[in-house]
């Protein structure tokens, strides 16, 4: 391993390398003047179909499936690879410059909501769904919601970064975060052995925050690390992940703002419920006849 002696004061004098190096910087704030588009629905979501983005689109689709018409939304694509999270309009609604961010135009003035868990709680409370009103189930929902928010960065920013994205493979870093990723899967597995969903017998926003990360890992769809982390051994996580993944609203939520994978699964922007039938990438760009 190359030895590195940190200087007295760290300075930003080179790109760090690896995937996403071009968008990483040590300062906050906007880099360009750019207003955000606003569509016809009360809720305007600015996002991308990463695990953090999927949490919110799954909840919105579940709310609509329950009949909450006020949960209709426009989902605009924020391409973080192009630095769109640093536009002034986006920074106005999320000073942290990360997707997802939500603007609720049904309130006066417009309510901005950022941080995926804050968005989940805001919407669950607004519509009175997927967050138990009281008692043990509400506490358990918050326990697991905060667990997911605190744990996933070690899976994504820690394990995923060093296993899949870093320009060099560092055994020390991969060991450290593989150990933590497996420990987290075991935490979930032991709990889900005796609990249908994370907070008990009902699907809640805790599952919606956790599933996009740990459900994807369980399915071998995250960082191509299924074999490396032996995810098949976490059988209770696999049962829970499959059960959630089969819900029609979850299937729709996964497609929104998705810009990778099979074209029929990619709905870059969602402005109408009918878009799932007509605006996926396979429909917008049909393959040319041979
Ligand atoms: N704690 C935040 C994390 C959001 C986050 O990390 N978003 C990533 C995409 S998954 C992002 O926008 N990255 C852009 C950047 O770091 O510049 C949340 O839960 O909302």
Kindly report, residue by residue over 184-193, the tens digit of the pLDDT.
999 999 999 9
pLDDT at 118 over 90: yes
**Residue 52 Cα to ligand 1 middle (Å):** 7
pLDDT at 1 over 70: no
Cβ of 31 less than 6 Å from ligand 1: no
**Residue 98 Cα to ligand 1 middle (Å):** 4
**Alpha carbon distance 239, 266 (integer Å):** 25
Q: Ligand 1, from 18, 54, 99: best to mutate by most atoms within 8 Å of Cβ?
A: 99
pLDDT score, position 288: 79
> Which pTM was predicted?
0.96
Q: Assess contact for 68 and 1: CB atoms under 8 A.
A: no
pLDDT score, position 2: 67
pLDDT score, position 14: 67
Largest Cα separation within the chain, whole Å, is: 62
For 135-247, CATH number?
Answer: 1.20.1050.10
Q: What is the mean pLDDT of the chain?
A: 96
Which residue's structure tokens are 């919105």?
A: 60
**Residue 258 Cα to ligand 1 middle (Å):** 15
**Residue 209 Cα to ligand 1 middle (Å):** 13
**Alpha carbon distance 170, 196 (integer Å):** 38
Percent helix, percent strand, percent coil in the chain, to nearest 5: 50, 10, 40
State the average pLDDT over residues 130-158: 98
**Residue 227 Cα to ligand 1 middle (Å):** 26
Ligand 1 nearest-atom number relative to CA 51 = 10
pLDDT score, position 16: 66
Q: Whose CA is nearest to atom 14 of ligand 1?
A: 98
**Residue 102 Cα to ligand 1 middle (Å):** 13
Cβ of 97 less than 6 Å from ligand 1: yes
Q: Whose CA is nearest to atom 1 of ligand 1?
A: 115
The CA angle 115-120-124, to the nearest 5 degrees, is 150
Q: Whose CA is nearest to atom 11 of ligand 1?
A: 98
Work out the percent of the chain whose per-residue pLDDT is above 70: 96
Q: pLDDT by residue (tens digit) across 10-47?
A: 998 766 667 767 788 999 999 999 999 999 999 999 99
Q: Whose CA is nearest to atom 12 of ligand 1?
A: 98
**Residue 42 Cα to ligand 1 middle (Å):** 23
**Residue 104 Cα to ligand 1 middle (Å):** 20
Cβ of 115 less than 6 Å from ligand 1: yes
The sign of the CA dihedral 264, 269, 270, 275 is negative
pLDDT score, position 290: 62
pLDDT tier at 231, thresholds 50, 70, 90: very high
Q: Ligand 1, from 23, 25, 31, 52: best to mutate by most atoms within 8 Å of Cβ?
A: 52
**Residue 287 Cα to ligand 1 middle (Å):** 33
pLDDT tier at 70, thresholds 50, 70, 90: very high
For 84, phi then psi, to 5°, come to -65, -15
pLDDT score, position 24: 85
pLDDT score, position 66: 98
Q: Ligand 1, from 46, 83, 94, 98: best to mutate by most atoms within 8 Å of Cβ?
A: 98
Residue 271 burial by CB count (10 A; 0-12/13-18/19+): exposed, middle or buried?
middle
């Amino acid at each position: 391993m190359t030895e590195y002696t940190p200087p007295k004061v760290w300075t930003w004098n080179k790109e760090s390398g690896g995937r996403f190096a071009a968008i990483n910087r040590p300062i906050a704030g906007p880099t360009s003047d750019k207003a955000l588009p606003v569509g016809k629905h009360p809720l305007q979501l600015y996002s991308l179909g990463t695990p953090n983005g999927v949490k919110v689109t799954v909840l919105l689709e579940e709310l609509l499936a329950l009949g909450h018409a006020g949960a209709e939304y426009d989902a605009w694509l924020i391409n973080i690879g192009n630095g769109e999270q640093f536009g002034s309009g986006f920074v106005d609604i999320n000073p942290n410059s990360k997707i997802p961010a939500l603007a609720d135009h049904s309130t006066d003035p417009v309510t901005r909501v950022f941080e995926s868990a804050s968005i989940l709680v805001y919407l669950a409370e607004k519509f009175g769904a997927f967050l138990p009103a009281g008692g043990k189930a509400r506490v358990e929902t918050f326990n697991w919601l905060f667990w997911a928010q605190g744990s996933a960065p070690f899976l994504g920013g820690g394990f995923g970064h060093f296993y899949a994205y870093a320009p060099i493979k560092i055994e020390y870093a991969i060991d450290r975060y593989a150990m933590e990723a497996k420990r987290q899967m075991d935490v979930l597995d032991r709990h889900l052995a005796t609990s249908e969903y994370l907070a008990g017998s009902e699907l809640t926003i805790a599952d919606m925050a956790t599933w996009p990360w740990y459900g994807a890992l369980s399915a071998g769809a995250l960082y191509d690390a299924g074999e490396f982390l032996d995810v098949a051994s976490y059988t209770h996580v696999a049962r829970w992940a499959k059960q959630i993944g089969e819900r029609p609203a979850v299937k729709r939520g996964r497609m929104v703002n998705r810009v990778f994978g099979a074209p029929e699964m990619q709905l870059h922007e969602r402005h109408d419920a009918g878009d799932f039938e007509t605006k996926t990438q396979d429909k917008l760009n049909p393959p040319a006849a041979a």
